Structure 1
């Protein structure tokens, strides 16, 4: 693999030592070589090989460069900028502060290690999903993967599908790259993965968000990929994405399993407790009746098999939501498995953690 080349443009407001520390830590964690340099001019921002991650800075010429076809660059803005339309094969992450550099490096490396087919399900740039297939699906002569479980392909040759719905408290600075580590892990376990992007309500309104998740799941069809076993589809959402995933199941999405990973499962109480500085009201608006209609807890029974996963070291409100939801779902007659283990909010989407490994096996067992 080529080296990761991080380039910081003129005018980027951040401590250089801190940026270097973040980059070096991420290089080590990913097992890649990399370096960071500081451009003095806009011309020095142009990629010159390797795996490019570029912080363009505020210069208008640098901003214009982002829309040019300069290759598979990951452009990174530490501040929020929803107006960027990156050039062909490029990606844009923004609004995550200095820690966004870690996410940008992860995304850049992921793209070189794991191939996916991007499929659109609508005309907006955010209406797409990345489809990942197990090696056995891409190469008929390849041996199936031997991770836990040993083989998830069905006797007919189709692979079960996991639809991943990212969280981020319904805010546009967070995107489907959050779920890429899980996509890679699940493909290695023999699943096909549909990593779903959708319009977020802070820019497009709540109805657009819920419509996109439904349409994105419905877009799975034999025409997309004949190797998929569409009788074994799970939708798995993280945090706010879990609310969207379980809401889709309640609305009749064709799924055999709905999975909550540290989910925001009680929107009524989430708004009352001002969760994440008012994220519920910001996403859904001021009308209280909307919260109940969108809240998984208020939609029980879902009449779909469910797996609720919660890290015990997470925000205590989310622990409370998951426990109360699991109890209420069982009382409503739903078939639900509750899994609570050590871990924080992101442990449930980290392939290296025991809670995720246990979750992956539970999902495989549910889709047998």
Structure 2
């Protein structure tokens, strides 16, 4: 754990972005964390390298670098040094997967808004480090485990987190950092899952990964490692199916109290996981896309549904039938469906209709709709998140 006091945002040569807007975004995000900030524009590879070296000597500094297009500057993404463990590299455009030095992180394709997320991730990963564990051989098959403190000798409930982003690869598990940290502080183990997105790997890979990440839970605190992607600790094989092996801080995973929480597109994945018979005590959708057929008809998320599933409902009726939470009712798993009233009205409509249909089908469901937008449901400071956690506690901790 690092006591982050400063955030340095460095822009590389040739970056196409308004400097004043980067300043504005940086000031707003760092103020929310209560830390100082500085934005440094570099004109060439030498200046960028010097900035990395200086940041590497400041152990209380989180570093966000927008390297820009210059080849010499981009070569620094794989340059080792003390700065690496404190660096989040961010590209405004979707570059695809880019190699970086071990300890660093690369994000891309979120536009200017992504600067905010890069700053958040840079601070979160230093202040509240996670244990990254691979559950498969691909670079996107991993999850981050955070265990609560002060629970030695006890079994703790587990929150499996599935991020959204309309199933597109430019969004990742860092979206769930804040609630992973919040849940861990409240006494839950958090298992924040990354998975292969269908835009690069196909819909079947996404579905398989989510199931595999859940299935890996019994082994995450054992021994006997298996091969996994570089940069992720291997998942363990051979530990008890009841999660009996203690974690490093002495508490255990209670696999009879596992809840999955999915945000946006992750809400669909969470309820699909429940429908497929995943071992879950509770499934939670946070502003989820729960009616894929109507979502495809309305073109929600700029045709996100057919792009993810690989075609229209007419072309792929069996795929839609298996993937669509509304079509899978009853799920026979207790559910909490959370929706911000200030969100996209199509999502409000979908979630209200889903809640009615689930009750009619005989499922046990709690529907929470309160003021807030699409990201309020994963904001630990929002009232709608507090209401969600209260419902989790009532069901899993009472």
TM superposition score category, shorter chain reference:
over 0.9
Once the 2 structures are TM-superposed, how far is the Cα of residue 2 of structure 1 from its aligned partner?
3.7
* CA distance, structure 1, for counterparts of residue 304 and residue 78 of structure 2: 31
Counterpart for residue 114 of structure 2? 100
* CA distance, structure 2, for counterparts of residue 182 and residue 90 of structure 1: 22
* CA distance, structure 2, for counterparts of residue 223 and residue 349 of structure 1: 25
* CA distance, structure 1, for counterparts of residue 269 and residue 79 of structure 2: 34
Change (3 A) 1:251 1:276: same
Does structure 2 retain, via aligned residues, the 8 Å contact 1:160–1:230?
Answer: yes
Does structure 1 retain, via aligned residues, the 8 Å contact 2:133–2:220?
Answer: no
Q: Which one of the candidate residues 34, 41, 44 is aligned to 1:31?
A: 34
* CA distance, structure 2, for counterparts of residue 45 and residue 2 of structure 1: 21
Counterpart for residue 320 of structure 2? 291
Once the 2 structures are TM-superposed, how far is the Cα of residue 367 of structure 1 from its aligned partner?
1.2
Does structure 2 retain, via aligned residues, the 8 Å contact 1:310–1:322?
Answer: yes
Q: Which one of the candidate residues 131, 139, 145 is aligned to 2:145?
A: 131
1:320 is the counterpart of 2:349 = yes
1:199-348 equivalent positions in 2, closer than 5 A: 199-224=196-221, 226=246, 227-286=252-311, 287-289=315-317, 290-348=319-377
* CA distance, structure 2, for counterparts of residue 16 and residue 327 of structure 1: 48
Does structure 2 retain, via aligned residues, the 8 Å contact 1:267–1:292?
Answer: no
Gaps of 5+ in 2: 56-60, 222-244, 247-251
1:185 is the counterpart of 2:196 = no
Deviations for 1:96-141, whole angstroms, at most 9, x for unmatched residues?
Answer: 111111111100000111021000000111100000111124xx4x
Counterpart for residue 6 of structure 1? 9
* CA distance, structure 1, for counterparts of residue 220 and residue 184 of structure 2: 20
Once the 2 structures are TM-superposed, how far is the Cα of residue 79 of structure 1 from its aligned partner?
0.7
| Moved segments of 4+, more than 6 Å | none
* CA distance, structure 1, for counterparts of residue 220 and residue 23 of structure 2: 46
1:81 is the counterpart of 2:84 = no
* CA distance, structure 2, for counterparts of residue 256 and residue 103 of structure 1: 31
Once the 2 structures are TM-superposed, how far is the Cα of residue 67 of structure 1 from its aligned partner?
2.3
Which SS does the other structure have where 2:293 is aligned? helix
* CA distance, structure 1, for counterparts of residue 382 and residue 276 of structure 2: 32
Counterpart for residue 64 of structure 2? 53
Does structure 2 retain, via aligned residues, the 8 Å contact 1:222–1:228?
Answer: no
Counterpart for residue 111 of structure 1? 125
1:41 is the counterpart of 2:70 = no
Does structure 2 retain, via aligned residues, the 8 Å contact 1:68–1:88?
Answer: no
Once the 2 structures are TM-superposed, how far is the Cα of residue 223 of structure 1 from its aligned partner?
4.8
Counterpart for residue 22 of structure 2? 19
Does structure 2 retain, via aligned residues, the 8 Å contact 1:306–1:335?
Answer: yes
Q: Which one of the candidate residues 159, 181, 190 is aligned to 1:162?
A: 159
* CA distance, structure 1, for counterparts of residue 288 and residue 127 of structure 2: 29
**Which is worse superposed, 314-323 or 282-291?**
282-291
* CA distance, structure 2, for counterparts of residue 213 and residue 202 of structure 1: 16
* CA distance, structure 2, for counterparts of residue 222 and residue 362 of structure 1: 28
Once the 2 structures are TM-superposed, how far is the Cα of residue 222 of structure 1 from its aligned partner?
5.0
* CA distance, structure 1, for counterparts of residue 7 and residue 269 of structure 2: 34
Paired residue total: 351
Aligned-residue CA RMSD (Å): 1.2
* CA distance, structure 2, for counterparts of residue 262 and residue 159 of structure 1: 26
* CA distance, structure 2, for counterparts of residue 342 and residue 198 of structure 1: 30
Which SS does the other structure have where 1:66 is aligned? helix
Normalised by the length of structure 2, the TM-score is: 0.86
Once the 2 structures are TM-superposed, how far is the Cα of residue 86 of structure 1 from its aligned partner?
1.6
Which SS does the other structure have where 1:252 is aligned? coil
Once the 2 structures are TM-superposed, how far is the Cα of residue 188 of structure 1 from its aligned partner?
1.2
Does structure 2 retain, via aligned residues, the 8 Å contact 1:53–1:105?
Answer: yes
